[in-house]
Each structure stands twice: as structure tokens, then as C-alpha cells.
Amino acid sequence: LFLSSSSRVSGASNEELYACIAMPLHKRPLLSKALLWSLVLLLVLVWMNILWPTSSPSPPPLPPSSSPLETIPPSPLETMSSSPTVSSGNNPTPERTLSGFVVWEGNANLSEEASSTLKSFLHHHPHSNITVFSNTLQSPDLLSKLRQLGYSVQVERYDLENLTRGTPLEKWWKSGALDSSPPYNRMSNISNALRLLLLYTRGGIYMDTDLVILKPFFSINNCVGKEDDQFLNGAVLVFSKGHAFLDAAMKEFTSTFRPAEWGWNGPKLLTRTLSKYRGKDVTVLPQSAFYPIHWKEIASLFQKMGKRERAAYIDTHLRDSFAVHYNTFLSKKRKGLTVEEGSVLHQLIEENTVLVQQ
């Protein structure tokens, strides 16, 4: 094609063009020199790594920062963990951890309610750890199964004398006031004191053993929830270690302790303490956070309903809740309620607890 187009442009025949191309180089000195210098230039360019670079050029170094990097410290309750991976459904991807604890006394084994509390906490916080503080609990099968699945759970014994030492509750303990508690209120008084002590000395999340956790607690800290328009409740408490509100609550506990009055050293104590507290570092969450169903209406959680009725109930009452407290003392021991299949509570437990066996 080249020869044909050249002959048409120049008017020369193909034979004449072939003869020109075939002419020896020594008879064409200018072409010889041009080819020689082209070859030299090509070798120089290759040597200088310009035509065919063998590696990408490095970017210029960044200028040094004018100020050191700033790091944001984690929340007192929140850390990063290298906990083992656990298969617990649609759990959050980040390996964020919280420290949760419950208090269990009286029986050697956990009740179904207490088991559901542990399993629902771990369902929503799979890389967190939870401790059961108990002097009566043996080695329950549930905790062994949870550990086999990779969850961090343990039982820890406690000594009130050692725990109260150096705290505002030391005076209360040494006074022997606890011994004047009637049998029906003694364990409640111990639990009310113990949750304040553990939060103050360790920080974390205290939970009663009749809760179903409905969503993660990562967004809340230093908070207590309203039970109604009149009282706070301590079934869920989230506080940093050494918080001033806990110190004030323990002082109030010691100075106003009433061994026989139900609720005086618990919900009423927290309500009194907050009314006197001058700090601005405590968040009071609305009733919907932990107590969306008032204890007077708790029976509705246990009643069997149709699927649509349950969905409407949950959407209306529990949409904004972190947990639901169903008050075993009132619902089961006093009213004899049981968790029926098809009830709202049954569905909540099914959807929000770790599956330990098929």
C-alpha cells in the first residue's frame, strides 16, 4: 500500500521506488548519519529510563504536619477487643466491647429470665463481656455453652466487706443495718447496694435479671431511666467508674437506709439523689428507654396475640426502647403470669437472644 500510494504521489513506478530503497547506505551518507544518531539517541533514552520506565515514580514526600496527630480517647465503657468471632445473627461488625454485669442470689442455677437477660445482652453486644456476681450460683450449663461459642461470660464471687472498704457505703456495712432487713427485703437491699458499688469501682452496665435487651447500648453512658413521671428505676444503670452521682447515691443510701421499706433503697433512692444532685453529667432517659410498659400494665406482654396485633404493639410501645423490663416479682410471683407462645414477650425473647442450641 505504501509503495502504491508513493508511486501515485511521485509519479514514479514501483520498480523505481524499489531501486531507491535498495540503494546501499554508503551511497546515501545523510540517511546513514540520521540512522546512526537516531540509534544513539534511542540508547540514551532507554538508559535514562524515559521511554520505557521500569517502575512508577515515587510521589514527593508530604510536608511535615504543623501539629501532632490528635487521638480521640474511647468512652470509659467502650474499648476495642480481639474477641473471637461469634455466630450470633445480625450483630454489629465493629468489635466494640462493653462491660455488663448482673447480680444473682438464692439459687444454684439461673432462671429462664436471667438466662434471657444474658443471652439478649450478648446478642446485641457479641464482643462484650458480662459477669454474674453471685455467691450461690454454681457452674451453670448455659455459661459453659456460651463460652464454647466464643462469648466472654464468667461468675465472680463478692465480699461486701471488701467492696465497701474506702467507699461511702463502708459506714453502712459496719453499722450492721443490713442485718435488720426482713427476709423479703434483704436480697433487694444487698442488690441495691451492690449495683452502686460495682458501678462506682468498675464502671459498666448494671442489669436486673428480668430484662430483654432490644438494641445495643453503645450510644448511652452515665444515664438512668424514668419508670414513670414520679420515679426513676435502677433495673438498668450505665455509668463510668467513679462517677460523682454514684458517690452521692451511696451517701444517700447510708444516711437514709430503711431496711424494711420496699423500693426505698432502690428506685426512690435514685429519685431522691437526683433531686439533690447539682451535677450536669447525668442523662435521664425517658420511660420508653427501659420501662416502656409500666409495671401496672405488665400483663399485656404475656398475653397471646395474633401476628399483626403483636407487630402493632411492638411498633407502638417498643420502637424506641433499648430494653424492656418485665418485673418478675410483680408479673410472675404475684400475678402468676407465664410467657405464652404467641405473646409479645415470647417474640422478643426469640428475636433478641443468642441461639445456644438448635
Q: What value does the mean pLDDT take over residues 64-73?
A: 31
* pLDDT tens string 149-170: 999 999 999 999 999 999 999 9
Q: How many CB atoms lie within 10 A of CB 137?
A: 20
336 pLDDT tier (thresholds 50, 70, 90)? confident
Q: What value does the mean pLDDT take over residues 77-92?
A: 37
Q: What value does the mean pLDDT take over residues 97-113?
A: 88
Residue 125 pLDDT > 50, yes or no? yes
Residues 192, 265 contacting (CB under 8 angstroms)? yes
Q: What value does the mean pLDDT take over residues 214-242?
A: 97
Higher-pLDDT residue of 43, 170: 170
Q: What value does the mean pLDDT take over residues 184-212?
A: 96
Using CA atoms, how far residue 27 sits from 23, 35, 53, in Å, is: 7, 14, 38
Lowest-confidence pick of 3-12, 114-123, 135-144, 324-333 = 3-12
Q: What angle do CA 176, 179, 182 make, to 5 degrees?
A: 150
Using CA atoms, how far residue 318 sits from 88, 218, 305, 313, 314, in Å, is: 22, 18, 16, 8, 5
Computed over every residue of the chain, the mean pLDDT equals 81
What's residue 34's pLDDT? 66
What does 262-296 look like in DSSP terms, one character per residue? TTTTTHHHHHHHHHH---S--EEE-HHHH-SS-GG
What's residue 197's pLDDT? 97
What's residue 28's pLDDT? 57
What's residue 358's pLDDT? 45
Length of the chain: 358
Grid cell for residue 299 = 400483663
Residue 246 pLDDT > 60, yes or no? yes
* pLDDT tens string 174-195: 999 999 999 989 999 999 999 9
Residue 354 pLDDT > 70, yes or no? yes
SS3 59: coil
* pLDDT tens string 319-331: 999 999 998 877 6
Give the separation between CA 31 and CA 18, rounded to whole angstroms.
Answer: 16
What's residue 92's pLDDT? 37
Residue holding cell 452496665?
205
Q: What value does the mean pLDDT take over residues 113-124?
A: 95
Contacts for 129 with CB less than 8 Å, ≥ 6 apart: 97, 99, 100, 152, 153, 154
Picking from 307, 233, 239, the residue whose alpha carbon sits closest to that of residue 271 is 233
Give the separation between CA 123 and CA 117, rounded to whole angstroms.
Answer: 10
Contacts for 244 with CB less than 8 Å, ≥ 6 apart: 277, 279, 281
Give the separation between CA 101 and CA 260, rounded to whole angstroms.
Answer: 26
What's residue 338's pLDDT? 86
105 pLDDT tier (thresholds 50, 70, 90)? confident
What's residue 282's pLDDT? 97
